[in-house]
């Protein structure tokens, strides 16, 4: 059997060829049909060491959770620091400075992933006169050279001199600079995955002479962006496009530098081109960006550029998925893929031809998996998935890369310790596709009953709860659910979720969460050894391990003979809930016999027996 050295193959032909070769090998074993299960095998090949490498490189980086200027501006607006009018004024100023290259980033401020949401907000918020004045109509750059990719699907336009020039390195032995050749491979790889492998539509062909898709390599760091898919912003129609991409990604404003930055941009922007083959609605920009940022990780699982946006999504999760800039919500795309399969995203885009993005998600889920509650049920699960991130991550249970994610942090009003009853009744409700997590921690591990009550519109709520070990339980309004053995460390996690996507279901409706202790776990013997105790110089004590379902204020240990007479008594004092160990040394006056013992206190009774042999 021949052995293939993939590392050597990669160095010679580039990763696009290597991945294609692996795919062909997989296909030849069974059939000529590409399936998501086969696709996942390819991802495993590429990501085996990705998580370890990423953790070592970035988890201590201050840039990991920095924000771009647009995300920071939106955060101020969503937190009511800016009025609507002030936000529009600031947005106009930001857009103009970005377009003219006059924006000076603050310390640790990152590049904007894509100009699409910024431009979309301008379109939706400006008057017709302002649009004609402020919104530039980008024309295709005039470049010095062009390169038809080996796959024949793209023309890469570039300069070799001047401000937009690429590095003139030819180590790959090609007739074009390495950067240009690598760019071609990245776009061909994105096309191969999306169209040939996953079955998405081909982007509309433009009116330019050549049918190939055009990518223009430019110096974009002054614009503070990774890249941009340029099109006419015509509503409710398909349309052609072209792409602007940075010429080196070497600046500190880019979370992923060099080829990594180029690759995720190729995946991101080309998926935008594909999305325009379905329909364009500016109100669905959040989903355009969610899907493109999600696809970056599909194409390049080991780069993880999307991680920089997760923490900022946590901060707005209680507002609405619609209010995210899309980059932030890529984590929801990861949830859809990992929970329902990679094909769910394609189904959503097909349905988006005639439906809004949110309605398409709901329909896709109802057709394939969540047949009754659709997006409402899915969003309840998703909310709890976000809890099991960072140090709380559980391998092979929730997000595949959860250990790399920041932990979801709770405010003081979301974190309650209680003895018998806890009640949460927020002053405000939740908007569409928004959630809020709550932790209820009993002072001692207990069995609890949780009840979620909606003041009105119970049909919009998709709440859920979980405890350790994690088991997600749907918590329907007005219907109580029980959770056994909720411990006094991790507690019970309840997600209040507005699972509606209708614009009318805004967050004016209040809700209440009530949690009652209904019982304590039993107290039991864990082990007793040695039994029998064959008393000699080396064996003089009996070890009794026992589990207390609740703390005991004053414990008592008593030993009886078979006639019920007390032969030994010891005050144990206060005993904590959980595992305890008692070491008993029988007195020399006790003869060989079977003895009974009891551990008691505050209603606890643990009985047993042991044999003493002298």
pLDDT recorded at residue 506: 67
Stretch 285-296: mean pLDDT, rounded? 96
- What pLDDT shows up at residue 134? 66
| pLDDT tens digits, one per residue of 207-220 | 776 789 999 999 99
Domain segments of the chain as ranges: 50-392, 410-519, 524-613
Average pLDDT over residues 515-527: 83
| More confidently predicted of 171 and 134 | 171
> What is the phi-psi region of residue 374: left when phi exceeds 0, alpha when psi lies from -120 to 50, beta otherwise?
left
Q: What is the pLDDT of residues 440-492, one digit of tens each?
A: 998 877 888 899 888 777 777 878 888 777 778 877 788 788 887 788 888 99
pLDDT value at residue 61? 42
269 versus 95: the higher-pLDDT residue is 269
Q: What is the spatial distance between Cα 222 and Cα 104, in angstroms, rounded to a whole number?
A: 9
Give pLDDT tens digits for 142-198. 999 999 999 999 999 999 999 999 999 999 999 999 999 999 999 999 999 999 999
- Whether pLDDT at 52 is above 60: no
Measuring CA to CA, which residue among 376, 379, 380, 398 is closest to residue 389? Answer: 398
Strands 593-601 and 578-584: unpaired
Whether residue 295 is predicted with pLDDT greater than 80 in this model: the reply is yes
**Residue with tokens 């989903």, as numbered in its chain:** 287
Helix (H, G, I), strand (E, B) or coil at 240: coil
pLDDT of residue 191: 97
List pLDDT tens digits, range 236-246.
899 999 999 99
Residue 470 in tokens: 């994690």
388, 316 in Cβ contact below 8 A?
no
Q: State pLDDT tens for residues 398-415.
A: 999 999 999 999 999 999
Say whether pLDDT at 3 is over 50: no
Confidence (pLDDT) at 507: 63
Residue-level pLDDT at 38 = 42
Predicted confidence at residue 372, as pLDDT, reads 73
pLDDT at res. 228: 93
Q: What per-residue confidence (pLDDT) applies to 7?
A: 38
Q: What is the DSSP string of 506-564?
A: -TT--EEEEEEEEE-PPPEEEEEESSSEE-SSS---EEEEEEESS-EEEEEEEEE-TTS
In whole angstroms, give the CA distance from residue 392 to residue 611: 45
CA angle 457, 462, 464 (to 5 degrees): 135
Please report the pLDDT score of residue 467 as a whole number: 78
Sequence-separated (6 or more) residues with CB below 8 Å from residue 206: 214, 240, 241, 242
Q: How far apart are the first and last CA of the chain?
A: 69
How far apart (Å, rounded) are the C-alpha atoms in residues 274 and 197? 14
Strand 578-584 with 542-548, pairing: antiparallel
Maximum C-alpha span of the chain: 106
Average pLDDT over residues 605-611: 93
Cis preceding linkage at 532, omega within 30: yes
The pLDDT of residue 66: 59
Helix (H, G, I), strand (E, B) or coil at 358: helix
Q: Is the dihedral of CA 96, 99, 102, 104 positive or negative?
A: positive
Residues 93/70, Cβ–Cβ less than 8 Å: no
Inform me whether the pLDDT recorded for 1 exceeds 60. Answer: no
Nearest to 268 by CA among 222, 226, 217: 226
Alpha carbons 100 and 427: distance in angstroms, whole number: 44
CATH of 524-613, one of 2.60.40.1930, 3.40.50.2300, 3.40.50.1970, 3.40.1000.10: 2.60.40.1930
| Per-residue pLDDT at 68 | 85
Task: Report pLDDT for 128.
Answer: 78
| Predicted pLDDT at 135 | 65
Nearest to 309 by CA among 65, 51, 60, 63: 65
Q: Which residue has the higher pLDDT, 506 or 30?
A: 506
Q: How many Å apart are CA 255 and CA 60, to the nearest integer?
A: 13
30 pLDDT exceeds 80? no
In the structure, what pLDDT confidence band is assigned to residue 247 with cuts at 50, 70 and 90?
A: very high
Tokens of 562: 């078979």
How do residues 525-571 score in pLDDT, each as one tens digit?
889 989 999 988 888 999 999 988 778 889 999 999 999 999 999 99
On average, the pLDDT of the chain sits at 84
What pLDDT score was predicted for residue 509? Answer: 67
Give the length of the chain. Answer: 614
**CA triple 187-189-191, angle to 5 deg:** 70
pLDDT in tens, 437-446: 999 998 877 8
d(CA 552, CA 12): 70
Give the model confidence (pLDDT) of 74-125 as tens digits: 888 888 899 989 998 998 888 888 887 777 777 768 888 888 888 888 877 7
ω into residue 488 within 30 of 0, thus cis? no
- pLDDT for residue 136: 62
Which CATH code fits 410-519? 2.60.120.380
The DSSP output letter for 480 is -
Give the mean pLDDT of 231-257: 91
Query: Which 3 state secondary structure label does DSSP give 247?
Result: coil
Which of 212-221, 282-291, 380-389, 507-516 has the weakest average pLDDT? 507-516
Q: Are 246 and 226 in contact (CB under 8 A)?
A: yes
In terms of Cα–Cα distance, which of 417, 108, 354 is closest to 252? 108
List the beta bridge partners of residue 543: 529, 583
Spell out the residues 6+ positions from residue 61 whose beta carbon is closer than 8 angstroms to its own.
none
Both structure tokens of 597: 């013992």
Pairing of strands 473-474, 511-519: unpaired
pLDDT value at position 57?
44
Beta bridge partners of 453: 512
């Amino acid at each position: 059997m021949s052995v293939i050295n993939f590392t050597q193959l990669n160095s010679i032909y580039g990763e696009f060829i290597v991945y294609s070769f692996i795919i062909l090998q997989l296909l030849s074993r069974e059939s000529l049909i590409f399936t998501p299960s086969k696709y996942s095998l390819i991802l495993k090949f590429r990501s085996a060491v990705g998580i370890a490498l990423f953790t070592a490189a970035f988890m201590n980086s201050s840039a990991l959770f920095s924000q771009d200027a647009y995300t920071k501006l939106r955060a101020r607006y969503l937190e009511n620091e800016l009025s609507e009018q002030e936000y529009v004024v600031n947005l106009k100023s930001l857009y103009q400075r970005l377009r003219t290259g006059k924006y000076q980033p603050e310390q640790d401020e990152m590049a904007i992933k894509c100009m699409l949401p910024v431009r979309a907000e301008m379109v939706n918020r400006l008057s017709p006169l302002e649009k004609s004045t402020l919104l530039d109509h980008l024309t295709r750059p005039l470049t010095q050279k062009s390169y038809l990719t080996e796959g024949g699907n793209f023309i890469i336009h570039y300069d070799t001199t001047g401000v937009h020039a690429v590095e003139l390195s030819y180590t790959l032995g090609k007739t074009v600079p390495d950067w240009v050749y690598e760019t071609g491979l990245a776009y061909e790889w994105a096309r191969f995955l999306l169209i040939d492998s996953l079955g998405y539509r081909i982007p509309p062909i433009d009116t330019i002479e050549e049918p190939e898709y055009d990518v223009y390599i430019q110096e974009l760091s002054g614009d503070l962006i990774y890249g941009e898919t340029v099109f006419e912003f015509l509503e409710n129609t398909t349309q052609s496009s072209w792409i602007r991409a940075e010429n080196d990604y070497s600046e500190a404003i880019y979370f992923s530098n060099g080829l990594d930055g180029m690759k995720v941009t190729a995946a991101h922007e080309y998926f935008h081109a594909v999305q325009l083959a379905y329909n364009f609605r500016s109100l669905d920009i959040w989903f355009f960006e969610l899907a493109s940022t999600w696809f970056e990780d599909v194409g390049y699982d080991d780069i993880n550029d999307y991680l920089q946006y997760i923490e900022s999504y946590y901060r707005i999760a209680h507002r609405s998925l619609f209010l995210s800039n899309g980059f932030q919500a890529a984590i929801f795309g990861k949830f859809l893929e990992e929970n329902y399969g990679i094909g769910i995203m394609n189904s959503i885009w097909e349905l988006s031809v005639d439906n809004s993005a949110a309605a398409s998600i709901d329909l896709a889920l109802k057709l394939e998996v969540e047949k009754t509650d659709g997006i409402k049920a899915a969003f309840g699960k998703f909310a709890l998935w976000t809890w099991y991130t960072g140090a709380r991550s559980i391998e092979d249970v929730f997000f595949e890369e959860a250990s790399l994610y920041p932990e979801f942090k709770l405010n003081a009003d979301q974190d309650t310790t209680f003895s018998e009853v806890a009640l949460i009744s927020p002053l405000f409700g939740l908007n569409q596709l928004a959630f809020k997590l709550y932790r209820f921690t009993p002072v001692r591990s207990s069995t609890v009953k949780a009840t979620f009550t909606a003041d009105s519109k119970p049909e919009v709520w998709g709440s859920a709860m979980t405890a350790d070990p994690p088991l997600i339980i749907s918590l329907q309004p007005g219907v109580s659910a029980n959770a056994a053995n909720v411990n006094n460390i991790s507690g019970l996690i309840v997600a209040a979720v507005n699972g509606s996507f209708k614009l009318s279901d805004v967050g004016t409706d209040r809700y209440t969460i009530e949690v009652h202790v209904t019982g304590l776990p039993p107290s039991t013997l864990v082990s007793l050894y040695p039994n029998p105790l064959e008393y000699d110089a080396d064996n003089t004590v009996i070890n009794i391990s026992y589990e207390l379902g609740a703390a005991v204020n004053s414990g008592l240990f008593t030993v009886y003979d078979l006639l019920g007479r007390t032969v030994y008594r010891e005050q144990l004092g206060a005993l904590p809930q959980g595992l305890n160990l008692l070491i008993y040394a029988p007195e020399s006056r006790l003869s060989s016999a079977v003895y009974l013992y009891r551990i008691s206190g505050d209603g606890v009774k643990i009985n047993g027996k042991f044999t003493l042999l002298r």
